[in-house]
Amino acid sequence: MTIAWRNILRHKGKSIIIGVILFLGALLMTVGNGVISGMDRGIERNIVDGFMGDIVLVADKQKSDNVLLNFMGTSIEPITTYPKIKEILSSKDYIDRFLPVGKNLAFALSDEGSFTPGIAFIIGVNFEDYEKMFPNNIKTVEGRFLKKGEHGILVPTDARKELYDYVGLWLVPEGGKLVKESLHKDALEEYEDIITTSAVVLMGMNVDNSSTDVLFPVKGIIRYRSLNTIFGHFSLCDIESYRECMGYFSAFDRNVNIPDEQQSLLEMGSESIDDMFASDSMFVDNIKGPSITIESKKTEQKAGSEEGAYNMVFVRLKKGAIRKLSLLDLNRDLAEKAAGARAVTWNKASGVIGGLATIIKGALFLFVTFLFVVAVIIIINTLTMSAIERVPEIGMMRAIGAKKSFIAAMFYGETAVLSAVFGGAGIIVGIIIVNAIPFFNITTANDFLQLLYGGDVFRPVLRLIDIIVTVLQLAGVTVVAALYPVTVAKNITPLDAIARD
C-alpha cells in the first residue's frame, strides 16, 4: 500500500486523470442505478396503487394472462360469478379492497366525418367504487365526473386524439364547447371545419358477436395523474352501459325467462346449428313452443349491479402482505369453490406494460454500460502511457530481481487505491445526490419523462443491492482497465530500459 501511494504521488498527473474518471464514473453509475430502481418502483407503485391493484382476477376460461392491453383484437372472457368471488375476497384478511370491472375493446362508429371505425379501450365500472379504489387517480380537463347511477363515459385526452384521427370527430363534454388550446397539431390545421360531438357510439367486441351499438354521452374529458401516456388509452364508463355495449346480461336482466328448449338452442355451437338446418327434421309443420318473456328494464325490482357480468376484478393487498403467497392462497380457494376465476399478478395481467419497466431498465443499463466502456478506455490509455513513461524505472526493478508478478501487483495496487479513494468518493456523493433529489419534489406532466420517472414525481431510490451492484461495477472497471497496461508493464525488460536511455 505504501509503495502504491508513493508511486501515485510520483506520477500524480496521470493519477489525477485516472482518479477523476473513476470518480465521475462511480458517481454516474450510482445515480444511474438509483434512477433505474426509482423508475422500477415508481411504475409498479403507480400501476398497483393507481390503476389495477396487486392482483387481477380473470375468468378461468381466459386463455391469455395479458388482459389489459391486448392489441390482437381478441375479447376478454366475462366473469358471471362475481357474488361468489366477492364472498371469497371478503374473507381474506390480507386483502385491503377490490373492484370488479368490465374491460374490452370497442369500435367507435360515426355517421359524420370519417366512416372508418375507431378502436377504443373501455372500462365499465361503478364510478363511486372506482374513486374509493383509486382515489385521486384522475382529474378532469373538461366537463365533470360521472354522478351516481348516471350513464355516460369519461374520455382521456389521448383517447380523444385517437378517436379524432380515426373517426374525424372531436369529443366535447355535454354542455361544453370546443377549446382551441386542447387541439393537437392535426386538429388545429382543420380548426375551421372540425366537427364536434358530445356523444360517441361504441359497439363492443365479445366472443359470441352479440354486442350492440350504444350511444355514450360524454360527461368529461379526463387525464390520469400519472403515466397518462399508458393509461390514457382507457375510457371509463358506467357498468350498465358497458354491459349493454358488450351484449352481456345487465343487472336489470335477471328476470328474463327463457324456456329450457330455447335455452338449449341459444347454447348451441355453430356446428350444431349447421347440422340442425341441414337435417330434414327441421321441415315440419306447425312448430310451436313457449315464447320468451323479457320483462322491462324499468321494472321496480332492479337487481344490484354486482349480479351482472364483469371481465376482471382488481385486488389491492394490505401493506406487508406477500404477493406470491396471497396469489397461491387465492387461486386455491377460487378453484376449490368453483368460482369460475383465477388470479394473476398485475405485471402478467398488464402484458407489455408490465414489461415496460424491464425495457426502460435495459435502456438505462445500456447507458450505464456505455459509461463503463468509456471509463475503461480512458483509464487503459492513461495507465498504458504511464507504463511506457516508467520503462526505465520498471526495467531497473527487473534488473535487480523484481519478478513480473511484483510489477503486476504494483500496477494493480495503484489502480485499486485510486479506485477505492476516488471511486468510493463518487459512490458516496452519488448516494447523497440520490437521497437529496426527492426533497426538491421535481414533477412533470411530460409523458416521456413520466415513464423515466416512473410517475409524475422524480424519486430515484437506492437499495442495498443497488449499492452493491455499483461497487461491483467499479471493481469491474478497475480490473478490466488494468489488464492491458499490466501486460505492457510485465513485458518491460532491463534491455528496454537501456535502449530507452
End-to-end CA distance of the chain: 29
Distance CA 420, CA 1 (A): 12
Q: Are 309 and 248 spatial neighbours (Cβ–Cβ below 8 Å)?
A: yes
Q: Are 23 and 430 spatial neighbours (Cβ–Cβ below 8 Å)?
A: no
Query: Which of 424, 435, 429, 428 is closest to 461 using CA atoms?
Result: 435
pLDDT of residue 307: 80
Of all helices (H) and strands (E), which one includes residue 142? strand 138-143
Average of per-residue pLDDT values in the chain: 81
**What's the longest Cα–Cα distance across the chain?**
120
Distance CA 366, CA 466 (A): 16
Predicted model pTM: 0.73
Give the domain ranges of the chain. 2-47+356-500, 61-257+301-339
Please calculate the CA angle 474-476-480 and round it to the nearest 5 degrees. 125
Q: Are 53 and 314 spatial neighbours (Cβ–Cβ below 8 Å)?
A: yes
Regions of the chain with pLDDT less than 70? 1-13, 70-73, 111-115, 206-211, 249-304, 354-357, 447, 496-501
DSSP states of 156-168: EHHHHHHHHHHH-
Q: Would you give the DSSP letter of residue 135?
A: T
Query: Which of 136, 80, 125, 77 is closest to 100 using CA atoms?
Result: 125
Strand 234-238 to 118-125 pairing: parallel
Residue 247: partners with Cβ closer than 8 Å, 6 or more residues away = 204, 206, 208, 209, 210, 211, 212
By the 10 Å C-beta count (0-12 exposed, 13-18 middle, 19+ buried), 354 is classed as buried
121: left (phi over 0), alpha (psi -120 to 50) or beta: beta
pLDDT in tens, 182-210: 887 777 887 778 888 999 999 887 666 66
Q: Are 434 and 39 spatial neighbours (Cβ–Cβ below 8 Å)?
A: no
DSSP states of 344-397: EEHHHHTTTTTTHHHHHHHHHHHHHHHHHHHHHHHHHHHHHHHHHHTHHHHHHH
Query: Which of 145, 125, 122 is closest to 314 using CA atoms?
Result: 125
Assigned C-alpha cell, 381: 490509455
Distance CA 249, CA 89 (A): 23
Distance CA 348, CA 186 (A): 36
